[in-house]
Amino acid sequence: MKTMKLEIVTPNGVIYDGDVRMVTLPGKEGEFGVLPDHASLVSLLDTGVITIETAQGKEIMVAIDKGYVKVDENKVSCIVDGAVLISDEEGTLSERLEEAKELLRKAQTSDVAIAAAVSKVESIKKKAY
């Protein structure tokens, strides 16, 4: 299956950098998915969860507050104010989930967006246990 490059960067450094099959992003106007060979675009990102399907088929989630994304045919670049990698191999999942929920609650956005993102993060916890 074809892949594309995904970068998620915060002021503190790179959160994710790798090849992916698909990424779903929390756009300002609603959630949207990006596949390889997607049309170029630039969009604002809202508080929420980025869902990544890696080249190996693994699902990774990253909680973010606001930022923006630039999509090219073979590369997606996300620049965000804050992010927490939730579904990775390092660290304990429960600590990451708590960090993600705290980041989402601190975001200065609509209560609905925060509630939806926190709900998505909590569903990860239910799947893991």
Instruction: Note down pLDDT in tens along the chain; length 129 residues.
Output: 899 999 999 998 999 999 999 999 999 889 999 999 999 999 999 988 999 999 999 988 898 988 999 999 899 999 999 998 886 555 566 677 777 777 777 766 666 666 666 676 666 655 554
Q: What is the pLDDT of residue 75?
A: 97
The model carries a pTM of 0.78
Say how many domains are in the chain. Answer: 1
Beta strands in the chain (DSSP E): 4-10, 13-27, 30-34, 41-45, 48-54, 59-64, 67-72, 75-80, 83-85
Contact between 60 and 71 under an 8 Å Cβ cutoff? The reply is no
Q: What is the pLDDT of residue 65?
A: 86
In which domain, by residue range, is 83 found? Answer: 4-128
CATH number, domain with residue 45? 2.60.15.10
In whole angstroms, what is the distance from residue 112 CA to residue 20 CA? 29
Q: What is the pLDDT of residue 47?
A: 87
State the DSSP code for 40.
P
